[in-house]
Structure 1
Amino acid sequence: MLGIDADCAIEWMAMDLRQLQTLLVVAEVGSLKKAALRLRIVETALSRQIRLLEEELRTPLFERHGRGLTPTEAGRRMIERARPILADLDQLRSEMLSRRNAVAGRVAIGLPWLLLDTLSSRLATGFIPRYPAVNIRLVGGVSNQLRRMLQSGDLDLALFFDVEPAPDPQLKPLFSERMLLVGSRACGYRLDRPLPFTHLAKVPLALPEVEEPFRAHLEALARERKLSLDVRFEVGALQALRALAMNGLAQVFASLHAVRADLEVGLLTA
């Protein structure tokens, strides 16, 4: 994981709701084996999910003992906060479903290349059953391009990255998360072992296009430190970035949300 000072931290996305659901199930049944059966995943993958979450939060959430797992004080606080969040989402889902027949038409949605693969199918599977009369047009692009299309009216709504919140009243920050430096298994990166920023000057990189605010911000930080970045590839699509990293051709930046599954099975390290 790349370590950056707090004043220049690059924050991006929010905690995956799947983590909260997993946390509640494990706490309820008190056993990884029983939780894995209920969630229909293998026990080793579930154990890795819990460990990654604990590493991300830098605190143990469960006490392990012969009878199973018991939430720690931090785990109990997480559970107390997670229950109303998921309940509110269930209520919101019910309310939206009750109104779905009143919504019809066409909507153009812009997504950054980095998230197009992961979000497009989720958007379709979550949106279409609730709003069958709505036609969705998905547009991929870099953040600055999506912003211009939104301002010109070519898009009805768009999700894009930015380092600093914009003053535009039409834009609303949705979530934030640190970007991780991601490499192959051979890199041996660990979430609980931050790297100095100078490490970036020693490895080949694959970065998004120059129009992406994250790329501009990263290069500005490098210039401030008089570092030269070895950018071998300019790539926006997540699948291409994953392939480059897995094959050891370059190291890439991605959010934990985007590469969690690869980290859990050991295909990538961050």
Structure 2
Amino acid sequence: MLTPKQISAFVAVTRAGSFSKAALTSGLSQPALTKQIKLIEQALKLRVFERTGRGVRLTPAGETVMEFAASINEQYDRLEAAIAKERASPAGAVTLAVTPLVAHVISSPVVLAVREQLPDIRLRIIEGYGAGVTGWVADGSADLAVSYIPLTQVRHLIDGEVLFDDEMFLVGTPALFERDCIGSAVRFADLEGRAMVLPTVQNGLRRWLDKAARDHGFELHPALEIDALSALLDTVAWGHGYSVLPGCASLEYVRQRALKTASISEPAVPAQLTLFTARGRQSSAVQQVIAVVKAQSRRLRAGA
């Protein structure tokens, strides 16, 4: 039958009305969404979408699937929470490390869920940059961390699990987009030579971007380096250059500043939001907080 990932993708495309719009909110690239929908149609042996001039709409079979899919998606998270409650109530202190870019989409929802579902756990959240938060997990200062730092860079020290691929977007003012004739998508290679405002090299996202640039035969030389998301976006809004940011962590703030975005293609270069944990067996309390973080990441991916 259908997997939770397939159901989340189906609900996201249905609600958005197009694969491109769904990619902005689901945490999956358009190719990844297309793949999940194809898997659904293969499993059901039915077409669930038909293309229109502006996007897609449900077929009669798709409407039947949608009657159940939205509630199944919601029930999946409820089931996980219920199972967590039924287990012996874990207790103790758990430290979660997050980077500034993901703090605002992870920290508050996780804190609220832990207080509601796991009242005997004392959750502590600390903030740092990519190398810092993974280092804290490695030396025991933190039990788990969430960051965009590439898993390959720290796999020899700690364990990691990719939560989802977050599509990357070029961000800039409408005036810059008009001046440079940028539409809804831009090739990654076209970033070469542009005035950029990017996080510092300590930041996990910056490491993704530097690696992708090297893979395309050029180096990024940002005019300004700012780690704080709010200050970075304000600087872009003042017209000092473009930035490249992941959709789930930043698009809400991008819209608040009336900035424009273009998906990065040819090829798409998604950043992977990754959960890092120490090697060895985790305590019951840590395992429960890990489950809460994963549940929140599913909501982010589904655009909930």
Q: TM-score range by the shorter chain?
A: 0.5 to 0.7
* Cα distance in 2 for residues equivalent to 1:76 and 1:263: 33
Which residue of 90, 110, 113 corresponds with 1:123?
Answer: 110
Residue type at the aligned position of 2:22: L
User: Are 1:151 and 2:145 an aligned pair?
Assistant: no
How many residues align structurally? 230
Q: Does the CA contact (< 8 Å) of 1:184 and 1:269 recur in 2?
A: yes
Question: What is the CA RMSD across the aligned residues, in angstroms?
Answer: 4.1
User: Are 1:133 and 2:120 an aligned pair?
Assistant: yes
Q: How far off is 1:216 after superposition?
A: 3.4
Q: How far off is 1:109 after superposition?
A: 0.6
Which residue of 214, 239, 244 corresponds with 2:230?
Answer: 239
Residue type at the aligned position of 2:76: D
1:129-166 CA-to-partner distances (Å, cap 9, x unmatched) read 11222222111111111111101100011112233543
Which residue of 183, 197, 205 corresponds with 2:196?
Answer: 205
Change (3 A) 1:182 1:62: farther
Change (3 A) 1:225 1:53: closer
Q: Does the CA contact (< 8 Å) of 2:233 and 2:254 recur in 1?
A: no
Identity percentage over the alignment? Answer: 19
User: Are 1:52 and 2:39 an aligned pair?
Assistant: no
Partner of 1:142: 129
Q: Does the CA contact (< 8 Å) of 2:19 and 2:30 recur in 1?
A: no
Q: Does the CA contact (< 8 Å) of 1:117 and 1:238 recur in 2?
A: no
How do residues 31-110 of structure 1 correspond to structure 2 at under 5 angstroms? 52-53=21-22, 57=30, 71-72=58-59, 79=66, 84-99=72-87, 102-110=89-97
Partner of 1:249: 240
Partner of 2:101: 114
Question: TM-score, normalized by length of structure 2?
Answer: 0.60
Q: How far off is 1:128 after superposition?
A: 1.4
Unaligned regions of 5+ residues in structure 1, if any?
1-13, 27-45
Q: How far off is 1:97 after superposition?
A: 3.5
Q: Does the CA contact (< 8 Å) of 2:102 and 2:147 recur in 1?
A: no
Partner of 2:37: none
Q: Does the CA contact (< 8 Å) of 1:208 and 1:235 recur in 2?
A: yes
* Cα distance in 1 for residues equivalent to 2:209 and 2:174: 24
Q: How far off is 1:213 after superposition?
A: 4.3
How do residues 159-174 of structure 1 correspond to structure 2 at under 5 angstroms? 159-165=146-152, 166=155, 170-174=159-163
For residue 159 of structure 1, give the secondary structure of its aligned residue in structure 2.
strand
Q: Which moved further from structure 2: 77-86 or 158-167? A: 77-86
Partner of 2:165: 176
Question: TM-score, normalized by length of structure 1?
Answer: 0.66
